[in-house]
């Protein structure tokens, strides 16, 4: 299993797919097997998504690393994630950023994320239950906002809760396919860049798919 993990890291490094060595270190530090169901442990470092229950999935490692690369995390960042799921992505971000908030709309998954993060001894993440399409105003403003669920468009509250110069990374499109987008807030307005196509589980809630 550890060999498969190292192979992924080497692959990303050799292809220059990941240039931030802190991201590679973060992937090395967090045990993905602790965030997926026991019967899937063997598959922890296959580059595929894995089911985490309630019809939801943890994204494939390459997708997660790609998103985190776009997010350009810094130690001082306050980050909001929408879609805690298993807590794995939040665990990776917490290796770099010291304040991570992760919203989850399914209470059982929020409980799972909390339990997984506790087991992994990661204390920098606050999992909050609720509709993250509204952001999480209680801890705003954020340096970075990342969505791990497919968005019909970027919800207005996320833009409001983002600091000047802050970055949003999210898959945006219809339910079948989305483009990864990165938005930077300059003078109160977002400037977007689009990247590859992906398929994420849908964002629910007020600004999600219904």
Please give the positions annotated as active site: 59
Q: Site for ligand SAH (CB under 6 A): which residue of 23, 26, 44, 82? A: 82
Q: How far is the CB of 187 from ligand SAH (least distance, A)?
A: 28
Tell me the C-alpha to C-alpha distance, in Å, between residue 60 and each of 44, 74, 172, 199. Answer: 10, 23, 18, 11
Q: To the nearest 10°, report the CA torsion of 112, 7, 99, 37.
A: 0
Q: How far is the CB of 189 from ligand SAH (least distance, A)?
A: 24
Tokens representing 109 are 């998954």
Question: Which residues inside 49-68 make contact with ligand SAH, applying CB under 6 A?
Answer: 52, 56-58
DSSP 3-state of 174: coil
Question: Which residues inside 99-158 make contact with ligand SAH, applying CB under 6 A?
Answer: 103-106, 109, 131-133, 148-149
What are 169's strand-pairing partners?
146, 182
Q: How far is the CB of 117 from ligand SAH (least distance, A)?
A: 11
Q: How far is the CB of 186 from ligand SAH (least distance, A)?
A: 26
| Nearer of residues 52 and 180 to ligand SAH, judged by Cβ | 52
| Nearer of residues 70 and 188 to ligand SAH, judged by Cβ | 70
d(CA 143, CA 78): 5
Helix (H) / strand (E) element for 80: namely: strand 78-82
- Which x/- pattern, by CB under 6 A, does the window 171-210 give for ligand SAH? ------------------------------x-xxx--x--
Nearest to 125 by CA among 167, 93, 148, 147: 93
DSSP 3-state of 140: coil
In the complex, which residues of this chain contact ligand SAH (CB under 6 A)?
A: 52, 56-58, 82-83, 85-86, 88-89, 103-106, 109, 131-133, 148-149, 201, 203-205, 208
């Amino acid at each position: 299993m550890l060999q498969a993990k190292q192979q992924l890291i080497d692959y990303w490094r050799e292809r220059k797919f990941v240039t931030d060595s802190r991201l590679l270190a973060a992937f090395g530090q967090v045990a993905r097997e602790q965030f997926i169901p026991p019967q899937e442990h063997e598959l922890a470092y296959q580059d595929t998504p894995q089911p985490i229950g309630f019809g939801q999935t943890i994204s494939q490692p390459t997708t997660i690393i790609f998103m985190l690369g776009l997010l350009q995390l810094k130690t001082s960042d306050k980050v909001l994630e929408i879609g805690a799921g298993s807590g794995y992505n939040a665990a990776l971000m917490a290796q770099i950023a010291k304040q991570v908030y992760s919203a989850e709309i399914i209470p059982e998954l929020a409980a799972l994320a909390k339990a997984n993060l506790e087991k992994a001894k990661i204390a920098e993440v606050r999992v909050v239950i609720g509709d993250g399409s509204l952001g999480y105003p209680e801890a705003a403003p954020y340096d970075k906002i990342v969505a791990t669920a497919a968005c019909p468009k970027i919800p207005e509250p996320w833009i409001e809760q983002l600091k000047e110069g802050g970055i949003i990374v999210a898959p945006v499109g219809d339910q079948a396919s989305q483009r990864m987008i990165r938005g930077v807030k300059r003078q109160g307005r977002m400037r977007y860049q689009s990247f590859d196509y992906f398929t994420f589980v849908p964002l629910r809630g007020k600004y999600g798919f219904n």
